[in-house]
Structures are given as structure tokens and as C-alpha cells.
């Protein structure tokens, strides 16, 4: 989906994690520290140019934690369809749910159950990674944050997006779009237009 995005004067660089598409033969990573270490090593060579992060759902938490450990910061962090990390403070680890329960949870977000079942090993690694992720409070990041969400998302509402504002010492903006958890597919042009505006209006300093 991200490869189809066209932002004026901005190169879109999707991150493909292990276990997906052309990396299907690689085992998926199911713990945050290992994933952050590998992502930081891969991204650092490109941070001499201005850049921004867009993270959807679990990707929002990954993008936030990556911003915290990089020496050079993005101009903007867009957290999409994700509760603010503060909701993941002091959570007790939970066991993996049975396949049927996991598919029920994911299909309620709008996914096709058959397609989800085919991708179950990857989805299980993803949900394990985020289920075991714990937010460690720290200083606000010196990066503007824009929190995006779908108006009909059954799990992520305005009150879950707003606390992202507490994690930045710069500007904050909240946007909500028609659609559910995968609102990006409902009106991608509107999302890209908003992103273009926010990249221009929310400078890092």
C-alpha cells in the first residue's frame, strides 16, 4: 500500500520486516529490543537527510521507540491507528491466544478472515511482539507528533489518540478520517493530503 503513495517532493520508503513478501523465508521478529536494534542499524545511514516516520497500528509504537534511540530525529512522527504508549505501562504479560480467538480479534478490525488465516504465523509474531511491549516513561521527544485514526475504529478512539500529545516537547496534531482501523484504504488521497500538510506545518524546531 505504501508503495502507491505519492507525496510531492518526498520519497516514500516502506520498511519491510522479516517474514513478509520478499522476506518470507526469514523468521519474523517477535520482541521489540531485537527489532529496534536491527531497524536502527538499517536506518541510520539515511538519517543525514530530513526524514519523517509514519507508523500504523503496531508500527506507531515501533516508530516512537525508534525515534527515542536514534541520534538524529525525524522531522515528524505520525502515529496511526494506535493507542498512545502510556496505555502499555506496567502491563502483565499475557499468553498467546488460541488461533481462533486471535483471528476473531483481527477480523473485528476489518480484515478478511481467510487472508488473515493464511498470514497467521506472521500475525502471531506481530501480536506477540506488541503484547509483550512495555512503555518505559522518559523525557518527551523533541519531535512533533501527529496522531491519526479512523472515526469508526472499534478499538482506537479520540481519547486513545490524544495522550500522544504528552510524549512530545514540540507541536501536536490529531486527525481523524472516515473508516475503521484500516482507514488508510478508505480514502488514501485524503490521508496523503493531510500528511503533506503536516510535514509542512509541523517543523521540528
Backbone phi and psi for residue 7, each to the nearest 5 degrees, phi listed first: -110, 130
Q: Which of the 8 DSSP states describes residue 120?
A: H
* Sheet bearing 77-80, strands edge to edge: 53-56, 77-80, 145-150, 172-177
The DSSP bridge partners found for residue 148 are 80, 175
Q: How many CB atoms lie within 10 A of CB 137?
A: 9
Residues with a catalytic annotation lie at 57
Spatial distance between the Cα atoms of 49 and 10, rounded to a whole number of angstroms: 11
Spatial distance between the Cα atoms of 97 and 105, rounded to a whole number of angstroms: 10
Spatial distance between the Cα atoms of 87 and 41, rounded to a whole number of angstroms: 28
Amino acid at each position: 500500500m505504501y508503495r502507491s503513495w505519492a507525496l510531492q517532493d518526498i520519497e516514500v520508503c516502506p520498511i519491510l520486516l522479516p517474514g513478509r513478501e520478499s522476506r518470507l523465508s526469514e523468521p519474523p521478529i517477535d520482541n521489540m529490543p531485537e527489532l529496534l536494534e536491527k531497524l536502527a542499524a538499517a536506518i541510520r545511514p539515511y538519517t543525514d537527510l530530513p526524514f519523517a516516520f509514519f507508523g500504523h497500528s503496531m508500527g506507531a509504537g515501533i516508530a516512537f521507540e525508534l525515534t527515542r534511540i536514534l541520534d538524529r530525529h525525524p522531522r515528524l512522527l505520525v502515529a496511526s491507528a494506535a493507542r498512545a504508549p502510556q496505555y502499555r505501562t506496567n502491563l502483565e504479560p499475557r499468553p498467546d491466544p488460541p488461533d481462533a480467538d486471535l483471528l476473531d480479534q483481527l477480523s473485528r478490525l476489518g480484515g478478511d478472515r481467510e487472508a488473515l488465516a493464511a498470514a497467521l504465523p506472521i500475525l502471531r509474531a506481530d501480536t506477540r511482539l506488541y503484547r509483550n511491549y512495555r512503555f518505559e516513561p522518559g523525557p518527551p521527544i523533541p519531535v512533533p507528533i501527529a496522531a491519526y485514526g479512523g472515526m469508526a475504529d472499534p478499538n482506537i478512539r479520540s481519547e486513545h489518540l490524544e495522550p500522544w500529545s504528552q510524549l512530545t516537547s514540540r507541536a501536536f496534531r490529531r486527525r481523524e478520517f472516515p473508516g475503521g482501523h484500516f482507514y488508510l484504504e478508505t480514502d488514501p488521497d485524503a490521508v496523503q493530503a493531510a500528511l503533506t500538510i503536516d510535514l509542512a506545518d509541523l517543523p521540528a524546531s
